[in-house]
Structures are given as C-alpha cells and as structure tokens.
Amino acid sequence: MPERPSFNVNIKYNLRDFTKSSSSEIVNTVVPFVYGSRVGCLMDNKIKPLPSYVMEKTVCNADIPGKIGSVARDFLQRNPLIVASNESEVAASMKKIIDKDTETRYCFVNKNANCASDKIVAYNRNAIFYLEVILASFFLTYIFALLVHIVYFNGLIFILYGENIEKS
C-alpha cells in the first residue's frame, strides 16, 4: 500500500497490487480497478489525476506470460493505432519486454501516464475534503461580501453624494 498522501483522501489500492491479487482469468484488470473510484498517479506525496484515455489504453493481467495471447488481443483492441499488423506480433513484442524485465510484470501502462503501475492509485475523497470545500466557500463568500461592503460605503456613496456627505 502506498504512503497516505493527504488526510482528506482515502487510497483504496494501487494498480500493481490490485492486479497481482486478482484472478488471471480476468483479461484486463483495469476495468474493475477504475470502477467507482477516481484514478491518479501518486507523485511526491500528492495525487495527480489521470485522464480516462490513459487508463483506457492500459492493459493489466495477473499472469501476462501465461495469458499473453488474450492480453495482446485486448491490447490491440484498446490501441487501434499500433503499427503491428496482428496479435502474434504484439504478443512477440510483449514477450521481448517481459523477458528483459527484472521483476514480474503485471501491466502495460500507457506511456502518457508517466507513472508506474505501483504509483497508479484508486482513491476517493473523504468527508474532510468536502468539509474543507464548504469552509472555503463560506470564507470566500465572506471576503466577497466584505469587498462589496467596502466598495459600496467608501466608493459608491462618495461618488453619489460627494462632499455633501460631510455636511449632513
């Protein structure tokens, strides 16, 4: 489980651990990972939200070497602009990448994510976040009312009545 980035966010799990603990029969674990949560990249103890197109083009499986054919098929369906002409070429390319890895690979993350699978997290905002939003709204409303008050009494009244206000 990654470090807790903030007290107003609940991190459910990261993509790598979620995929690692899921069934290898699920061809792509990204869909259940994303369902019902916000997805972001944990960087410098802050969460940077990831756009949905990045996750749509990401493929994860608990046993990529054992299911490489179905993973390659799913990868081609999600990335139609891949230069490879068929599933076997993509599977061969994936096999080369897997063979070079020093640890077990569970995901092929879209390069636009700029984030490793162990840093991609599913999170929800908790009640403290919404309390902060409400308090900030009240504070900003108060500041706005104060500015209107200052402008009205110090500016508008002087413009309307000018120096006659001193004589009353």
Q: How confident is the model at residue 8 (pLDDT cuts 50, 70, 90)?
A: low
More confident residue, 86 or 84: 86
More confident residue, 122 or 136: 136
Q: What secondary structure does DSSP assign to 8-46, as a single string?
A: TEEEEEEHHHHHHHS-TTSS-THHHHHTTSEEEEEETTE
Mean pLDDT throughout 145-168?
Answer: 74
In this prediction, residue 2 carries a pLDDT of 46
In this prediction, residue 1 carries a pLDDT of 45
In this prediction, residue 135 carries a pLDDT of 94
Q: How confident is the model at residue 4 (pLDDT cuts 50, 70, 90)?
A: low
Mean pLDDT throughout 74-95?
Answer: 74
Q: How many residues does the chain have?
A: 168
Cβ pair 18, 122 in contact under 8 A: yes
Domain range summary for the chain, segments of one domain joined by +: 9-125, 127-167
H or E segment and range at residue 124: strand 120-125
Mean pLDDT throughout 132-156?
Answer: 89
**pLDDT at residue 84 tops 60:** no
In this prediction, residue 97 carries a pLDDT of 81
Model confidence over 15-46: pLDDT tens digits?
A: 888 888 888 788 888 888 888 788 888 888 78
More confident residue, 123 or 85: 123
Kindly compute the dihedral angle of the four CA atoms of residues 11, 16, 18, 19, in this order, to the nearest 10 degrees. 160
Beta strands at 107-108 and 9-14: parallel, antiparallel or unpaired: unpaired
- Cα–Cα distance between 118 and 120 in angstroms, integer? 6
**pLDDT at residue 116 tops 60:** yes
In this prediction, residue 68 carries a pLDDT of 80
- On average, the pLDDT of the chain sits at 80
